[in-house]
């Protein structure tokens, strides 16, 4: 039996992809602990992991970030991203690191696992010589000579001129766009007693012992210099909840009309960005529109009366719904896109913040739908994109092909097997702390 500790960023999109992996490790007889906030205690314990609470780590609420960080609401675009990197991903590492060092001293663990944004595993690997693994929560964002820097939303180019362009952009991102953010990362390392690292902040996953990418190669840009420790494991599709009551309109999914699922995920809850324009754009179309609000009650959509062809719910298990869906219309949430593709459902993705432009690009690049780098598409844009994808069999064909590729993987099982391969012959001892 090995001892695994999960320590991803405590946000839904960072926690959920790891839960099936933890459950599989528990099923195999391993001890699994999960360091997180009270928001996720039930989910962690449900998969059989032991909940490890924050003590020094700052408890952040993804639905109240603007309340917890009042300056954030005034910022947009890159300014907000830089703010988030400092306040939600760099500064909290101090408390996370202190908590996990104390946890290790009290009861050592053999392998630490985080998501691709959680830097604390990077530090534990250095200080304790612990095997460290990450699982991807978005498209692959590691630097490559064949691609522009992650976050710019620029298509890849591996030609001689393209690689020159890429080198120039990587230099600019590190030394201009995110110069201050990188300095903040280095200051964090120094404050915790670590030497400076030549590794750029977004690339610390290159130092991991294992990088589990939740996808398949055909959804990603090809990289001739992709590290060997990056493993594609397919999509992590959540199991349906044991107890869930179907809404009264559920039988309408069998009416013969095409079904369009509209979602903005859990954090992006300004419904004027996509949900409300989508409802208006599709109101007179011969489709059934299912809207999931995620973080807010269905009434928060604020359209009364709703068009006759629209159904709104806060939550519908995708395991039940997605087999009945013909198209996913999204602001680019990675988890929902991967679940849609695992069911052969084509995608229309609009997105211009966080990782959304990169996800929209992969949708366009792979041919499984239409991706547009826009945070607030017009009703005309939405209507045109939905119509093009719904009625052009090419997109459905590409999505079905990708679903077959994804079906060749069992993400929890493959991930667990790869993680087991990291377990050292003899577990590290607390004496290593000195």
- In the chain, pLDDT over 70 holds for what percent of residues? 97
- 327-348 burial code (b ≥16 CB/10 A, e <16): bbbbbbbbbbbbbbbbbbbbbb
What are the residues whose beta carbons fall under 8 Å from the beta carbon of 385, sequence distance 6 or more? Answer: 348, 370, 372, 377
Both tokens assigned to 243: 């107890």
The answer for 48, left when phi > 0, alpha when psi is -120 to 50, beta otherwise, is left
Residues 19 and 164 in one domain: yes
Which is more confident, 352 or 169? Answer: 169
At 433 the pLDDT is 45
Residues 35 and 149 in one domain: yes
Whether residue 325 lies inside any domain: the answer is: yes
What are the residues whose beta carbons fall under 8 Å from the beta carbon of 94, sequence distance 6 or more? Answer: 56, 188, 191, 192
End-to-end CA distance of the chain: 26
Q: Mean pLDDT across the stretch 217-232?
A: 95
Whether residue 220 lies inside any domain: the answer is: yes
Whether residue 371 lies inside any domain: the answer is: yes
Residues 123 and 174 in one domain: yes
At 64 the pLDDT is 82
Which is more confident, 343 or 430? Answer: 343
DSSP 386: H
Helix (H, G, I), strand (E, B) or coil at 85: helix
pLDDT digits (tens, 9 = 90+) for 241-292: 778 889 999 999 999 999 999 998 666 667 888 999 999 999 999 999 999 9
Whether residue 242 lies inside any domain: the answer is: no
Rounded Cα distance between 266 and 301, Å, is 14
DSSP 233: -
Rounded Cα distance between 215 and 197, Å, is 29
Residues 388 and 422 in one domain: no
At 218 the pLDDT is 95
Residues 319 and 173 in one domain: no
Please report, for the domain that includes residue 257, its CATH number.
Answer: 3.40.50.2000
Supply the range of the domain harboring residue 423. 3-234+410-433
Rounded Cα distance between 40 and 34, Å, is 10
Residues 96 and 196 in one domain: yes
Q: How far is CA 423 from the centre of its chain?
A: 26
Rounded Cα distance between 269 and 289, Å, is 18
Residues 316 and 199 in one domain: no
Number of domains composing the chain: 2
DSSP H helix total and E strand total for the chain: 16, 13
Residue among 377, 351, 379 at smallest CA distance from 364? 351
Instruction: Tell me, yes or no, if the pTM score tops 0.85.
Output: yes
At 354 the pLDDT is 76
Residues 373 and 425 in one domain: no
What are the residues whose beta carbons fall under 8 Å from the beta carbon of 384, sequence distance 6 or more? Answer: none
Rounded Cα distance between 120 and 128, Å, is 12
The answer to whether the CB of 100 falls within 8 A of the CB of 112 is yes
Rounded Cα distance between 88 and 397, Å, is 40
Task: Please state the φ and ψ torsions of residue 249, each to the nearest 5 degrees.
Answer: -90, 5
């Amino acid at each position: 039996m090995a001892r695994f500790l999960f320590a991803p960023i405590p946000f839904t999109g960072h926690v959920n992809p790891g839960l099936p992996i933890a459950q599989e490790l528990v099923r195999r007889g391993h001890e699994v602990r999960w360091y997180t906030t009270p928001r996720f205690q039930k989910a962690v314990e449900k998969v059989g992991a032991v909940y490890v609470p924050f003590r020094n780590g700052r408890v952040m609420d993804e639905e109240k970030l603007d309340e917890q960080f009042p300056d954030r609401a005034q910022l947009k675009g890159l300014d907000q991203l830089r703010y988030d990197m400092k306040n939600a991903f760099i500064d909290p590492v101090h408390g996370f690191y202190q908590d996990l060092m104390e946890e290790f001293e009290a009861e050592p663990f053999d392998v630490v696992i985080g998501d691709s944004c959680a830097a604390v595993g990077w530090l534990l690997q250095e200080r304790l010589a612990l095997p460290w693994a990450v699982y991807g929560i978005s498209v692959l964002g590691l630097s490559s000579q064949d691609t522009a820097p992650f976050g710019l939303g620029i298509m890849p180019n591996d030609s001689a001129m393209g690689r020159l362009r890429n080198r120039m952009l990587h230099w600019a991102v590190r030394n201009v766009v995110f110069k201050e953010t990188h300095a903040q990362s280095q200051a964090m390392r120094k404050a915790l007693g670590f030497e400076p690292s030549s590794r750029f902040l977004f690339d610390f996953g290159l130092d991991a012992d294992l990088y589990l990418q939740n996808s398949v190669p055909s959804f990603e840009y090809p990289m001739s210099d992709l590290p060997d420790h990056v493993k594609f494991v397919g999509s992590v599709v959540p199991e349906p909840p044991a107890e869930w009551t179907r809404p009264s309109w559920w039988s309408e999914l069998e009416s013969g009309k095409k079904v369009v699922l509209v979602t903005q995920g859990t954090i992006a809850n300004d419904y004027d960005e996509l949900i409300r324009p989508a409802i208006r754009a599709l109101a007179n179309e011969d489709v059934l529109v299912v809207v999931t609000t995620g973080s807010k009650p269905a009434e928060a959509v604020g359209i009364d009366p709703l068009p006759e062809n629209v159904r709104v719910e806060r939550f519908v298990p995708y395991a039940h719904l997605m087999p009945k869906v013909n198209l996913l219309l999204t602001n680019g949430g990675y988890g929902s896109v991967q679940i849609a593709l695992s069911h052969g459902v084509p995608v229309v993705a609009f997105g211009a913040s966080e990782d959304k432009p990169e996800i929209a690009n992969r949708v366009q690049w792979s041919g499984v739908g239409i991706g547009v780098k826009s945070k607030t598409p017009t009703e005309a844009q939405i209507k045109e994109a939905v119509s093009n994808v719904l009625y052009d069999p090419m997109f459905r064909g590409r999505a079905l092909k990708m679903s077959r590729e994804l079906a060749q993987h069992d993400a929890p099982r493959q991930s667990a097997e790869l993680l087991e391969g990291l377990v050292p012959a003899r577990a590290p001892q607390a004496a290593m702390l000195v």
